[in-house]
Amino acid sequence: MNHYYTNDPTLAHDEHQFNFDLAGHTLAFTADNGVFSKHTIDYGSRVLIDAVVAADLPAGAILDVGCGYGPIGLALAKHWPDRHVTMSDVNERALGLAERNATANGITNVTILESSVYDQIDGDFAVIVTNPPIRAGKAIVSGILAGAYDHLQPGGQLFAVLQKKQGAPSALKLMKATFAAAEVVTKAHGYYILRAIK
């Protein structure tokens, strides 16, 4: 069985194209088998994007961990053309789609790379965003949340979306234990947007 958080280049292709309005721009996406939320932008990602755009953020670069085919990172890069956005994922097919989606939307202020959690991530970021791969297991999700601390500049912010039933309360506890401050900034239809500040 193939999962979006694994790498299976042999999986049959079945591409799907659609447009979606994110952060005030209509973006064109191509998705495929073996990636998360192939047919539309999932609700959690949409709420996360809205929360980040509405927040008072420090200046600087953004990192999207577990970017999939790119909706969060590309929406933020389109919204803030003067910020650089690094997008990472472990799934090569998703990364190839993210590259194509960046090109299709004329987005050049992005770097898209393969990385398991933070193993290929260099530098410090003003903002880290993630819609973490819940099905990859708690160790991976906790690694993304706690590990963000070492990749944020002082005063940098981590935003994560999790469903209440998939561990948002325990994720908030972990973020409070790791960061100077952490809170729920938005609740919508069972999804929590969590923010931590270094």
Give the model's pLDDT for residue 5.
60
At residue 51's C-alpha, the angle toward residues 198 and 133, to 5°, is 75
Q: Which amino acid is at 168?
A: A
Whether 84 is covered by a domain: the verdict is yes
Q: Which domain holds residue 148?
A: 16-197
Q: Is the pLDDT of residue 195 over 60?
A: yes
Q: Is the pLDDT of residue 49 over 60?
A: yes
pLDDT in tens, 68-97: 999 999 999 999 999 999 999 999 999 999
DSSP annotation of 189: T
What value does the mean pLDDT take over residues 44-49? 97
The three-state secondary structure class of 129 is strand
Q: Is the pLDDT of residue 2 over 80?
A: no
Whether 3 is covered by a domain: the verdict is no
Burial class (CB in 10 A: 0-12, 13-18, 19+), 22: buried
What value does the mean pLDDT take over residues 114-127? 96
Which CA distances in Å does 130 have to 16, 79, 106, 123?
A: 23, 17, 23, 17
> How many residues make up the chain in this entry?
198
| Strand order across the beta sheet in which 110-114 lies | 110-114, 85-89, 62-65, 125-130, 152-163, 191-197, 181-188
Whether 106 is covered by a domain: the verdict is yes
Give the model's pLDDT for residue 7.
65
- Cβ within 8 Å of residue 29, ≥6 positions away: 17, 18, 19, 20, 41, 69, 70, 71, 101, 104
Helices 92-104/71-79 angle, 10° precision: 30
Residue whose tokens read 């088998």 = 33
What value does the mean pLDDT take over residues 27-54? 94
pLDDT in tens, 62-73: 999 999 999 999
Q: Is the pLDDT of residue 38 over 90?
A: no
Whether 174 is covered by a domain: the verdict is yes
Q: Is the pLDDT of residue 1 over 50?
A: no
Q: Is the pLDDT of residue 192 over 80?
A: yes
Give the model's pLDDT for residue 11.
76
What value does the mean pLDDT take over residues 133-138? 88
Whether 1 is covered by a domain: the verdict is no
Give the number of domains in the chain: 1
What's the CATH code of the domain at 145?
A: 3.40.50.150
